[in-house]
Amino acid sequence: MARYKDEQCRICRREGQKLFLKGSRCYTDKCSISRRNYAPGQNGQKKKKLSEYGTQLREKQKTKAFYGVSEKQFRKYFEMASNSRGKTGEVLLQILERRLDNVVYRLGYGSSRAQARMLITHGAFEVNGHKVDIPSYLVKSGDEISVREIRKDNKVIKANVEENSARPVPEWLQKNESKLSGKVIRLAERTDVDLPVEEHLIVELYSK
């Protein structure tokens, strides 16, 4: 699957806000948004007025970058949301929140979603006692996610636990730091999503 290989901070600057793609760096003065809060490129400081389509596209691109998914995956999730009960935009965000890489990040075992994906593909986590190495795995209410016994001495995970100990865990998740595990109490609701996105614009874009 194709991945964005350029400097991650350029994405945040293009969207004009922090998307927390670089882990702990995003919380320091080294964050590019803090130092250069304008779009990258030669004409980045010039104000551009977006068309209706451009505004809708930026919302989609921002959401894709935030969760680290490809266009193909994102469209698949949109189709799933369209065929589900409830508001399509809110269901779409709920599906994205259910991704295992997002849950591992939300629990603080990954410094970023990108690092969480790497740890998952290397077999560091299990769901309900079974190893899962697919970052796009969708968790369900009641699922328990934990660091595998053979990976509990992993230096990266230990450092993340210490570094993120004060970071709040979303209300739809329950964290057991001593056991290096977490549980999905319920599925995420719209109020649980901290990304400032107008999801109805994404629905309008795909509905054209």
CA dihedral 95, 200, 66, 27 (to 10 degrees): -120
Q: What is the pTM of this model?
A: 0.80
Domain architecture of the chain: domains with CATH: 1-49 (1.10.1050.10), 51-96+193-208 (1.10.1050.10), 99-187 (3.10.290.10)
Q: Strand 173-176: give its sheet, edge to edge.
A: 130-131, 125-127, 144-147, 181-184, 173-176
**Mean pLDDT per 10-residue interval, the chain, length 208 residues:** 52 60 59 60 65 94 95 97 96 98 97 96 98 98 98 96 93 96 97 94 94
- CA end-to-end distance (rounded Å), the chain: 26
